[in-house]
Structure 1
Amino acid sequence: MNSKFLKCLPVALAGLFIGTAAQAQEPTSTPLRSWSIGVNAGLLTPLSPLGGKNDFSNNKSSFGYGLYIKKQFTPYFSLRLDGVRGKLKGDNTQAYESGMVNNSPVKAFDTQLEYSGSLNAVVNMFNIDMFKKEDVLQLYASAGAGLAGYKPTITTASGTSAYAGGNTIKELIIPVGLGAKFRLSDGVNLDLGWTVNFVDGDNLDGYYRNGNDKYNYGYAGLEFALGKGKQLAFHNPVAATYDQAVAAKNTANALKADLDAQKAENAKLRSEMNDLLKDSDGDGVADKLDKCPGTPAGTVVDGSGCPIKIPAPQVTEKVIVTEADRKVVAEAIKNLEFDLGKATIRAKSYTTLNRVAALLVEKNFSLKLAGHTDNTGSRELNMRLSKERAESVKAYLVSQGANASRIEATGYGPDQPIATNKTAAGRQQNRRVEFTLY
């Protein structure tokens, strides 16, 4: 079989699945059955009516049987796992239709199809009745890929023998089929189908003639839907949508009188609202609530419409940070130490921190505390540790009399390094709490 065709088949099946699954399925008020199993029986024949070379002039039909399990994804698309068993037979006891006699050294064959398993994409081609919510007849086409295992027995002039030593031959198969399904009840369907299987090998009949073999399976069977409710495969979303549109139109007509009455009521309420919100002097307070009507334009008024006095702007004294102040902060930063991996301030840092607290109380400064870490450990841990250390310094300063509302504590973790984290000295510099007076 053409290798390019085999490589393209999975892509084609995937495209078919995606394209069909994209169709919108109309919601229904009752559940729809999507899983089903089927059993069937019919005739297996080692040839293809679609043309091609046949190794034997007289191909016989033999009994075959199968079963499948199917998942319906939309009313138009499903995936079906098929299994088939049976026999395939043929001989050269009669001439071809052209009159030519087959002088093959193999006179006849008898092949036991031990198994044939394939995964098939099944497409329901169209709805028989576009205006029925649930169809009775459905036509479908299928295509897929799978594996067959079989044992040919051949007959030559010297007698009968097992081909390939009697071992089971395994070959890839490509099944392509058509079918018709009749819904007998909510849970049972009559399934009539026909599938041509193209074999990726020329050993199905035990005779090699440089051309791949094929066989077809015509069958009849029953399909049983699992679960409760209607079958998704026979559900017609087109008809359901049409019925919903008709129902919506009838509902709209029934509500039209109520809608017109509501519009009139809304117009009346709008007129009353305009009277209620009327503001003659334009001060933002409605006339019915305005205790000081006629206020000049631009006057700032209170909630009752009366003028209010605007307090004179307050002059804020400019904060001046001296070099001496910065030196106090610098010494505190230099002497600040914490317990390893914790936010506990060591006692040796208290003296310089006390000077910072006294400075904040004396000059009413504001202070921003920014905690930083190196990149050792997880970022989440470093962010939390940097924040906790900044908060620890703030808590200590407040305990010494500083105004808590004038101190801001923030943690930046490892995000703002001032030195490289590749050396111990650089990481030491990055583990810090910065003080900013303002």
Structure 2
Amino acid sequence: MKKNLKKAALLLTGVLLGGSVFAQTDSVSSREFVKPFSGIGSYRTWSIGANIGAPSLLLATGGHNGFNHWDPTLGYGLSIRDQLVHSFGLQLDYNGGKVKGGVSSNQPYVTNINGERYISFSTKYNQVTLSGVLNFATVDYLRRKNAIGFYASAGLGVVYYTPTVYGATTPGIPTTASASFKSSNIVLPVGVGVKFRLTDAVNLNLGYNENFIDGSSFNGANQYPVMSHYSYGYAGLEFTLGPKSKPSIQWANPIASIRHEYMTEEQRLQALVDAQKAANDKLRADMDAMNANLAKYTTDSDGDGVSDFFDKCPGTPAGVKVDGSGCPLPMATAKPADVKVYVTEEDKKIVKEAIRNLEFDFGKSTIRPHSFPSLTRVAQLLIEKNFSLKLAGHTDNVGSSDFNLSLSKNRAESVKAFLVSKGANPSSIEATGYGKTQPIATNKTAKGRQMNRRVEFTLF
């Protein structure tokens, strides 16, 4: 007995020390909330436990098979559990220990089915079971995080036991020899309990199991058809496994998570509203500043069409025409008499030569250098005789209409730009593109298409 109590003390000390280590390393800043409907992977679901307790034939169920006196003994257990959902998990348990008992003074012996009489027993056992654990009150409406949890369990397993019975030695009654044997049977454990959350990783577990055995000789005195059973009351610690960034599913409060999600979303939306309001205020301030600057640049006190900021001649009388700086334009002089201009054959020859020598890069509006001399003579002609010139660009039918129209226009503008660069008056030159709409030859032959790719010069 003393040896068993010493073992129990050592085991309990080890369990409590282990709980202390877990409690010291457990962080109170562990994530408490999980986004609703995010799946089981967001939680810690696995846990292990260790316990010590008192196995007996008498607890809660009264005497069993005649032995109505209980000798206190030590039991112990280990467990591993996977919490499948908030309210239900599967738990694998190992239990071991010894159950001892005897008869009281008013009951001299116990008789088995063979008529053998015994006064006491001692049974060593080892048991492995798989149980379903149903949690109650998994939602706490008073606290953000649950602190107490109640549960019930039921399962199925195998118990291996070695009972020893001791024969009666009462005077006047024949002595029955002591006996010992090994056996195993299916066992059905049914239990209830309560857990207290010490930290996010450590729980205090108090429970009671009644173990119903498919056999009649657990106490060594076979009294078939009465089935054997024994009880086990225990206390222990349970340690949650997994990363601290995830909460334990058995203590997580779904209502708190839903509220947290709502509050977080509300704060996020409020932050967006505040940010948008700040942006609107800044935009309004920028617009006010822009309107103030715009007023400075658009105010025209004398009504001459030039703002005061740029007006170098303020106070111009109404109706007076002004230049870009707001100053009156000089009075118009008499228009000189029109001078007739005649186009000679020599002039036409210069233009024809320019047309004949005009070439562009393929598919581009870039004039090739060998065309420059003849175009330079056309520019000199425009300057000397003050001629006007119409440039008409044309293409063949290769390519889209939009491309050819743009290409013909660009080539005519390139010729105009060259002439202007040589001193010709840009207002006297008109550049137009017609694309492929005005062919002068068939587009079915290479020669015809070449003739259609042209820029026509018209002097007037």
TM-score range, shorter chain: 0.3 to 0.5
Q: TM-score, normalised by structure 2?
A: 0.45
Q: TM-score, normalised by structure 1?
A: 0.47
